[in-house]
Amino acid sequence: MRILGLELSKRGVVGLVVVLVFTLMGVLASLIVPYGLDYLGKPFTPPNNEYILGTDDVGHDVFTHLVYGVRTSLIVGFLTALISTFTGLAVALLCYYDRLDLIIVRIIDLFMVVPRLPLLIVLSTIVKPSIWNVVLILSFFGWSITARVLRPMVRQLKCSNFIGILKVIGARDHYILLRHVVPHLYSLIAVQFILEARHAVLAEAGVGFLGFEEPTTVSWGIMLYHAFRNSYTFISNVWLWTTLPPALMLALLTLALTLIAIDLEETYNPMLRRVRI
């Protein structure tokens, strides 16, 4: 099935549908939830007709925070992916020029050896914790992976016959890059965008779970953090509605993104390409 110019199998379509459902849930969160974020009920109330998924340790409606948590994950995931992917694309295009290629490769190698999640945790203790800082840090150190993936294709296209013909007839470099090189990178760009979004979603949840995120942030990681820091969670069955729902939502979103990325890779990566039946 071809969607937005990309070929997807049933597996990829399933992943895309799940992501679209999550996106719709985040956009319409205020219309879906029964209570506001400031609502407080009786703590640790089990699921019933009034509270679909019960309440947490301070009385927040779990379902309300679960739905609003979708917004945080999608904002961090897609905004990080957008910034890092297009920054990586711009850097990879600079490798088209021979005199810049070697320098850029060394810079890419330098950024790639930096572990993003541990660095994000360390910086979260120094700078003000917020989802915007998470986006900036992940983007600043995430572009190198995209640049590393796209650079070989840019160098290969530069040596192709049709690029040589364009140069002979007088086409300028910026025209060649924008009109003939970038279109050949669309599939790889899509794959890297999805992979970066998945990594950012997991990283944001990890920072929240470890307690290094702004306490007022509504996210699945923060929900897990508050659930695990309360000892009552481990000696009763409240984990069924305070811990399990955000963990399942996080797993479902990352699984959906993984399905899309794997499907695109198997379609457009020559080393992994398979025959569609």
What's the CA gap between 139 and 121, in Å, rounded? Answer: 15
Q: Looking at 140-144, 145-149, 179-183, 262-266, which range is the least confident one? A: 262-266
What's the CA gap between 188 and 186, in Å, rounded? Answer: 6
Residue with token string 């699921």: 47
Say yes or no to pLDDT of 277 above 60: no
Would you say residue 276 lies in a domain? no
Would you say residue 208 lies in a domain? yes
- The pLDDT assigned to 5 comes to 60
Would you say residue 217 lies in a domain? yes
Would you say residue 84 lies in a domain? yes
Confidence (pTM):
0.87
What is the span of the domain harbouring residue 180? 2-268
Instruction: Provide the CATH number for the domain around residue 258.
Output: 1.10.3720.10
Q: How does pLDDT run across 37-84, given as a tens digit for each residue?
A: 888 888 888 998 889 999 998 889 999 999 999 999 999 999 999 999
Average pLDDT over residues 239-265: 91
3-state secondary structure of 55: strand
Residue with token string 């992916």: 81
What's the CA gap between 77 and 120, in Å, rounded? Answer: 15
Would you say residue 227 lies in a domain? yes
Q: 224: pLDDT confidence band, cut at 50, 70 and 90?
A: very high
Average pLDDT over residues 128-155: 88
Q: 275: pLDDT confidence band, cut at 50, 70 and 90?
A: very low
Strands (E) located in the chain? 2-3, 6-7
Would you say residue 233 lies in a domain? yes
Would you say residue 275 lies in a domain? no
Q: Provide the number of structural domains found in the chain.
A: 1
Would you say residue 274 lies in a domain? no
- The pLDDT assigned to 137 comes to 85
Q: How does pLDDT run across 103-122, given as a tens digit for each residue?
A: 999 999 888 888 877 887 78
**Cα-based angle 47, 53, 56 (whole degrees, multiple of 5):** 95
What's the CA gap between 82 and 85, in Å, rounded? Answer: 5
As a 3-state breakdown, the chain gives helix, strand, coil percent values, each rounded to 5, of 70, 0, 25
